Amino acid sequence: MSSIDLSAVRVFLLDLQERITNAVAEIDGQPFVSDSWQKEPGEMLQGNGITKILEQGNVFERAGCGFSHVRGPRLPSSATQHRPELAGAPFEAMGVSLVFHPRNPYAPTVHMNVRMLAATPVGEAAEPVCWFGGGMDLTPFYGFDEDAVHFHQVCKDTLAPFGEDKYPRFKQWCDEYFFLKHRQEQRGVGGVFFDDFQELGLAQSLTMMQAVGDSFLQAYLPIIKRRKDSIFTERERDFQLYRRGRYVEFNLVWDRGTHFGLQSGGRTESILMSMPPLASWSYQRPSVAGSPEERLYKEFLVRRDWV
């Protein structure tokens, strides 16, 4: 479908999934369960994938990391809002996506995704159009400056070889994307996000996507190791579950990846593995002045330069 070796991209993504889940399983002490799946003939999509899931672990209440490689006859509308000429085009997509929900309220939730999509314009003797997307973002329930600074520094260092403009652009893109418009609230402290990307040429754009995926463990493992054994009480646990509700709201209402997967006939269990195992909502929940919870809202759930 393109000048990129799709089989090599697939090998990279499967290896990335394996490296990440092995490292996280070592920290948790529990293994991931591997669930291989195949779309059945006659379904909207064709393809396969592997969902690796760790639930009720020692460190992670739920940690999901999925690989998927699918083909479909019509590109969903959620993927063509910036490329109307590709509406309804046949497509091929593959990627790795993860969300880790730690048990400890002082340890932040994290999301990472890297993906490639290729589509062939309808009714034209044209070459397939290929682009990349991805990024990572951090969602703390209790804010620590050193965690946010470390996470953003890794993102900045990773993107530096691809142009000094990339980190500030992708950081702003992340802040704007992971924003709950109905709450007028950031989801977390952000990170980097890019989509519909091919401006460096196919080969270099792919290399950049791979670099982002490769940097995930460096960005997150030092943070989870630092916070996983922190002492907490029911108060912190209760606030964690309340804030997880915001995570659910974003993923179901605003996330284009969730919409793409459901609209294209993807595997529901794998698409919704990002949901936390427990969450709660309150009609009213004012923060106590001077509390750590108030500090989260005033100092961390705002757009700011961390590095």
Distances (CA, A) of 119 to 14, 79, 93, 176, 200: 22, 10, 9, 26, 18
Indicate the domain borders of the chain.
6-300
11 band by pLDDT with thresholds 50, 70 and 90:
very high
**Mean pLDDT calculated for residue range 289-299:** 92
pLDDT of 253 > 60? The answer is yes
> Which residues have C-beta within 8 Å of that of residue 258, sequence separation ≥ 6?
251, 252, 271, 272, 274
Q: What is the pLDDT of residue 46?
A: 82
- What span, in angstroms and rounded, lies between the C-alpha atoms of 21 and 14? 11
282's tokens: 């309150």
Q: Where are the alpha helices (DSSP H) in 103-233?
A: 145-159, 166-177, 202-214, 216-227
Of residues 269 and 202, the one with the higher pLDDT is: 202
Question: Looking at the predicted structure, is the pLDDT value of residue 53 above 70?
Answer: yes
Backbone dihedral region for residue 184 (phi beyond 0: left; psi -120 to 50: alpha; all else: beta): left
CA dist 208 and 225 (Å) reads: 27
**Homologous superfamily assigned to 6-300:** Coproporphyrinogen III oxidase, aerobic (3.40.1500.10)
Q: Which of 173, 165, 87 is nearest to 129 (CA)?
A: 87
pLDDT in tens, 86-134: 666 788 899 999 999 999 999 999 999 999 998 877 665 566 788 899 9
pLDDT grade for 140, boundaries at 50, 70 and 90? very high
Average pLDDT over the chain reads: 89
* From 111, 150, 152, 259, active-site residue: 111
pLDDT on residue 83: 63
Q: Is 111 a catalytic residue?
A: yes
* pLDDT of the residue at 38: 87
Distance CA 34, CA 270 (A): 12
C-alpha closest to that of 90 among 119, 67, 59: 119
